[in-house]
Amino acid sequence: MMFSQFVIAEAGSTTLGTFLFVTLSFLLLLFLIKKFAWGSITTILQQRADKIANDLDSAEASRIKAAKLAEERKQQLLDSRNEAQTIVNRAKETADKSGQAIISDAKDEAVNLKEKAKEEVALERKQVLESLKGEIGEVSIQLATKIMQQELTKESHETLINSYIEGLGSGHETR
C-alpha cells in the first residue's frame, strides 16, 4: 500500500520529478567530469594543439630550409658550370697557343732546312765546278799531248775527239 501511494503521488509530478532528476544527474555528471576528467582532457587537447603548432612550424622551417638548400645547390651547379666553361676555355687557349707554337717551329725548321739545303747544293756545285776545272785542265793537257804526238788529219782528229768523249763518259761513270 505504501507503494501504491508513492506511485500515485508521483504520478502527478512525473514530468517535474524526471526533469529534476535528469538535471541533478547532469549537474552531478558535469561536476564529476570537471573534477576528474576536465583537467586531463584540456591538457591532452592543449598538448595536441601545441604538437600541431610545432609540426606546422617545423614543416615551415623544413620548407624554408629545403628551398634554401635548393637555391644553394642551384648556385653551386651554376658555379660548377662556369668553372667548367673556364677550364674548357683555358684548355682551348692553351691548345691554340701550343698549335701555333708547333706550326711556327715547323715553319722555322722548314726555313732552316731549306737554307741548309741551299747551302749544301751551293757547296756541292762549287766542289763539282772545282773538280771539273781540274779535270778539264788535265784533259786539255792530255789532248794537247796527243795532238802533238800525232799528225792529225781530219778523220784522225774526229776519231781522237770521239774516243776522248767516250773516255770522259766512262771516266765519270766510275766516280
The tens place of each residue's pLDDT in the chain, 175 residues long, gives 444 444 444 445 679 989 999 999 999 999 999 999 888 889 999 999 999 999 999 999 999 999 999 999 999 999 999 999 999 999 999 999 999 999 999 999 999 999 999 999 998 888 887 787 777 767 777 777 776 666 657 777 778 778 877 777 665 554 4
For 109-145, b/e burial (b = at least 16 CB within 10 A) is: eeeeeeeeeeeeeeeeeeeeeeeeeeeeeeeeeeeee
Domain boundaries, the chain: 37-174
Whole-model pTM? Answer: 0.39
DSSP result, 35-89: IIIHHHHHHHHHHHHHHHHHHHHHHHHHHHHHHHHHHHHHHHHHHHHHHHHHHHH
Diameter over CA atoms, the chain? 204
